[in-house]
Amino acid sequence: NPGHGVYAVLIVFGLALGLSGDIWLDLKWIYEKDMEKFLNAGFIAFMIGHVFYIGAIYKFAGNWSVLTAVLPVIVSVVVAIGNVIVSEKLLKLKFGKFRTIVGVYTFFLFMTFAVSAVAMLNNSFAKQWILMSAGGLLFAFSDAVLSNMYFKEGGNTKPNVVINHTLYYAAQFVIASSVLFIK
């Protein structure tokens, strides 16, 4: 999409950091004694990737008021805190020493969806923001499955692996597709 290189670069950086996060998470299975370090590195890479997505949305969606710029932040804080509490209490996930990073990551994860949803509403359902919203939601669903795989006893099943990968790669594809429609 000529003329929109900055948006494309921000999205590509986000996707590349996702790839980096995947590598860190895979290494935790190979070097089990360093599992905690690799899991943290994966979380951090994914978080930074979401910062690139969020920055691209804020920069290129325009039409921001104080309310529309701040509302996704407030909602994402509530969702992040609620997610940790609900996941541990109702879903019986055991975050343990990863509780804080799960909460912080959930904030950035949900911000990708929340900011793109507001951008979609502010821009009359423009295709690029529909795609970013859908991608953000697919990432959230993927990570919900991944949380069960990592933090719930018996959650790392073959069906969960297939569901997680399907949602995750769909999210990447949909977000990458937004580059074609940016205006």
pLDDT tens figures, 4-46: 899 999 999 999 999 999 999 999 989 999 999 999 999 999 9
Q: How many CA atoms lie within 13 A of 82 on its CB side?
A: 7
Give the three-class secondary structure for 134: helix
Q: What is the pLDDT of residue 138?
A: 98
Rg (CA), the chain: 16
> What is the overall mean pLDDT for the chain?
96
Residues shown for the chain: 183
Confidence of residue 66 (pLDDT cuts 50, 70, 90): very high
Lookup result for tokens 């959650």: 155
User: How far apart (Å, rounded) are the C-alpha atoms in residues 177 and 56?
Assistant: 14
Q: Which two tokens stand for residue 129?
A: 């923001």
Q: Is 70 left (phi over 0), alpha (psi -120 to 50) or beta?
A: alpha
Q: What is the pTM of this model?
A: 0.94
Structure tokens at 36: 């905690």
Report the pLDDT value the prediction gives residue 183, as an integer from 0 to 100.
Answer: 83
CA–CA–CA angle 101, 153, 22 (5° rounding): 45
In which residue are the tokens 């977000």 written?
175
User: What does the pLDDT read at residue 33?
Assistant: 96
Q: Please report which confidence band the pLDDT of residue 134 belongs to, taking 50, 70 and 90 as the band edges.
A: very high
